[in-house]
Structure 1
């Protein structure tokens, strides 16, 4: 069930419950008031008896003379007027013998229905009561008639206010209104702070699902939903960043394939041309053949490096670059790696300076992968040096690590390129008019291999003065 529907049903149920409680309370108050009125009526009868006691004593003394004696009638009228009531006096048969209100025209009463001895049955309307009392002769103690008094309600009950009842009803109505107001405020707050923000998140999620990562959230209150929106916004920005990185990588991979295809095409064309020249007998002597063979060898080395970088990149993407660590002594291992590299660097016209002394310590290392790292860093240095420059390799022990330093005196790295040196496909902006060589994978692969050795790789560079790389491997 949706939260909005649940809140609507819950609100209806709560209002129904409040109305039932209010109805029950009003019923209890009305019942209590009715009970109080009945209890009061028993006490008020005594007050009525006191009010008419003088007339009743007079009737008990002169009741048999009322019908025929004018003096008795005048006395009774005077007393009735003084008490503010009307008297209707009947015999035992119900025949009216005297009436202080002659305009009524009543001659006979039905003794079964017209005589009432309690307030509940004596009430005629909202303002008058008709109450009957038996008249007993004072001398014989025998009932001689009935005295029916008509009194105003205010004289019977006295001034009476329902302050308590009205106050309780007012309090109950006020509490009911407050509770209803609170319920509606709660409903409004739930809609504003929970339902609407949740619907906004739903819309934003649909936008992200459709690939629209630019639409941000617009919730600005700092509460629980605000924290959810903040986390959602961070997630959106992260997805947007990852999407851009993915697009950039896809584009870089396409460019990589295009560049490698182009860079492989050139040495292949050169190899084909020199091979055809040798086959056609263009070379007049062995020196020319060896010169051609050297050119073919250089182009073969270039293609080999390109295919090796591409293979390592593919293996890294698949998580299958195998780094098998074994205990090796550093001196013998590094000598076997640096000796052929030094010879190759010397043939390029760049001066190579090896380490004066290699520490002979035990390290966990994959010799083949470490050779790839050192060869790649030196090959990278050769791209940025010219004949007459120097490449220096040094080794030292510090803080439980063997650090291999490869420094050159070449052109250095541009400052704007430094943050991205170890990123895949990054080739840097060449500071010359010639296009930068390479696939942009070498340093990324070096970083991966060194970190697989639980080591670190870093560099510093000054434009125009050279670059130094530091590879540290734990002992």
Structure 2
């Protein structure tokens, strides 16, 4: 279920519950109003007692003198002023005194006439407006009952109307609270749509745009909340994907250029070798010296082709993460001395000054001789590419902190500052300067291959350079 559908269902469910609450409140209000309009109210016995207390007191104080006419009139007068009708019975049910003198002397049915509580009095009234409530009349000195006083009192005089203030306030508060809660729910739904669902939908649109290859559109979010971090990370991801896409395009272009360059570089020596073979076949080599000269040229071009193929193979292994380095524990002296002899010959042949190491440390190291020779040859070839006749190429070796340090330095053109961060990247060949157009020769794989080989040996390679003053490469191999 989508977040939008969930929020709508949640809102509708909550609103349904609120409607039920509001309807219940309205039903309760109607019931209270009906009870009030129907006259149902609470009768108060205390109200009755307050009304009849003066009459009861007069009866108790004058019960022995009730045969006197003036006493009887005073009590009747007190009853009239109070607004009630009095009937005083003795214990056998005979009417002694009454607000209606004609009923005096009659005999009353005590079982039916006496109602000491309002509930029975209300039932006996049977809809009549007058309630007949009985109170015992006591003899003060002896504390014994001497009679019963029946008072006929209008219900309005003893009715306590139920207050509607609190129920009305409570119902109003509940209705207001329900209204506020409803408004709050709609506000929350609007806020959820605006500040959560809408930004998520916007992120979805950006993601779809990125899937189509459009990485240029920046993601904007102006609120400072949790989604700002999500947008920031998403935009960072967009920038990174854009950068990776650009790198992929550049890499594909570089690979195409690499194939083109290697094809050209391989074609040239093969063509040369083919020409010299045809010359030998046609008998143009009349003496041994000329034949050997031809063989030397063919060997040089064959070695160049072999190096190009080897670089291409190592590059392919780099791509697969399977560069082949098979180390063996060997002594460094004889191996490195053998590697340096061909380099010295090539350097001197090019008209440069060669300075070899004064001493080659003879220590036990874990080394793949073929690969390390490839590193030294690539670094030397790189030095030759950046130097001119009369420049110097220097190779030093020394022990340093349980490492064998190999240094290959030249006094050539150096590396431009803007090119230094990319020296060890594959396909990078630098920019040709006016003074040295040979900078761009090669495949751009040599230094990357050197780095991979040295790191596979557990070592490290680095360089220092200053434009116009030469370059120094150093690599470290751990000793056993």
Q: TM-score range by the shorter chain?
A: 0.7 to 0.9
Aligned positions of 1:68-467 closer than 5 A: 131=129, 162-283=164-285, 285-432=287-434, 434=437, 436-467=440-471
- Secondary structure at the aligned position of 1:395 is classed as strand
Please list the CA deviations of residues 320-350 of structure 1 after superposition, one character each: whole Å capped at 9, or x if unmatched. 2211222222222211221232233222222
- Secondary structure at the aligned position of 2:223 is classed as coil
Partner residue in 1 for 2:16: 16
Provide the C-alpha distance between the structure 2 equivalents of 1:182 and 1:460, rounded to a whole number of angstroms: 68
Provide the C-alpha distance between the structure 2 equivalents of 1:204 and 1:440, rounded to a whole number of angstroms: 37
Provide the C-alpha distance between the structure 2 equivalents of 1:343 and 1:323, rounded to a whole number of angstroms: 27
Greater Cα offset, 180-189 or 36-45 = 36-45
Contact 2:83 2:153 in 1 (8 A): no
Contact 2:351 2:390 in 1 (8 A): yes
Provide the C-alpha distance between the structure 2 equivalents of 1:218 and 1:121, rounded to a whole number of angstroms: 82
Are residues 214 and 343 of structure 1, via their aligned partners in 2, closer, same or farther at CA, if it must alter by over 3 Å?
Answer: same
Please list the CA deviations of residues 271-309 of structure 1 after superposition, one character each: whole Å capped at 9, or x if unmatched. 223333333344554444443333333222222221111
Please list the CA deviations of residues 346-383 of structure 1 after superposition, one character each: whole Å capped at 9, or x if unmatched. 22222222111122222222221111111111011111
Please list the CA deviations of residues 407-443 of structure 1 after superposition, one character each: whole Å capped at 9, or x if unmatched. 0111111222111111111111122474521111111
Provide the C-alpha distance between the structure 2 equivalents of 1:178 and 1:206, rounded to a whole number of angstroms: 40
- Secondary structure at the aligned position of 1:38 is classed as coil
Structure 2: stretches of 5+ with no match in the other structure: 53-78, 88-97, 104-120, 133-151
TM-score by length of 1: 0.74
Contact 1:44 1:157 in 2 (8 A): no
- Give how far 1:214 is off: 2.0
- Secondary structure at the aligned position of 2:129 is classed as strand
TM-score by length of 2: 0.74
Contact 1:33 1:165 in 2 (8 A): no
Provide the C-alpha distance between the structure 2 equivalents of 1:284 and 1:387, rounded to a whole number of angstroms: 34
Are residues 287 and 158 of structure 1, via their aligned partners in 2, closer, same or farther at CA, if it must alter by over 3 Å?
Answer: same
Are residues 414 and 20 of structure 1, via their aligned partners in 2, closer, same or farther at CA, if it must alter by over 3 Å?
Answer: same
- Secondary structure at the aligned position of 1:428 is classed as coil
- Give how far 1:25 is off: 4.9
Contact 2:25 2:175 in 1 (8 A): no
Contact 1:403 1:471 in 2 (8 A): yes
Contact 1:47 1:156 in 2 (8 A): no
Partner residue in 2 for 1:108: none
Provide the C-alpha distance between the structure 2 equivalents of 1:292 and 1:437, rounded to a whole number of angstroms: 25
Contact 2:43 2:160 in 1 (8 A): no
Structure 1: stretches of 5+ with no match in the other structure: 65-115, 123-129, 135-146
Provide the C-alpha distance between the structure 2 equivalents of 1:282 and 1:371, rounded to a whole number of angstroms: 37
- Secondary structure at the aligned position of 1:266 is classed as helix
Provide the C-alpha distance between the structure 2 equivalents of 1:302 and 1:359, rounded to a whole number of angstroms: 30
Are residues 3 and 121 of structure 1, via their aligned partners in 2, closer, same or farther at CA, if it must alter by over 3 Å?
Answer: farther
- Secondary structure at the aligned position of 2:334 is classed as helix
Provide the C-alpha distance between the structure 1 equivalents of 2:335 and 2:29, rounded to a whole number of angstroms: 103
Are residues 298 and 55 of structure 1, via their aligned partners in 2, closer, same or farther at CA, if it must alter by over 3 Å?
Answer: closer
Provide the C-alpha distance between the structure 1 equivalents of 2:253 and 2:279, rounded to a whole number of angstroms: 39
Are residues 376 and 210 of structure 1, via their aligned partners in 2, closer, same or farther at CA, if it must alter by over 3 Å?
Answer: same
Please list the CA deviations of residues 75-115 of structure 1 after superposition, one character each: whole Å capped at 9, or x if unmatched. xxxxxxxxxxxxxxxxxxxxxxxxxxxxxxxxxxxxxxxxx
Greater Cα offset, 313-322 or 375-384 = 313-322
Partner residue in 2 for 1:88: none
- Secondary structure at the aligned position of 2:360 is classed as coil
- Give how far 1:168 is off: 1.1
Greater Cα offset, 36-45 or 347-356 = 36-45
Provide the C-alpha distance between the structure 2 equivalents of 1:22 and 1:456, rounded to a whole number of angstroms: 79
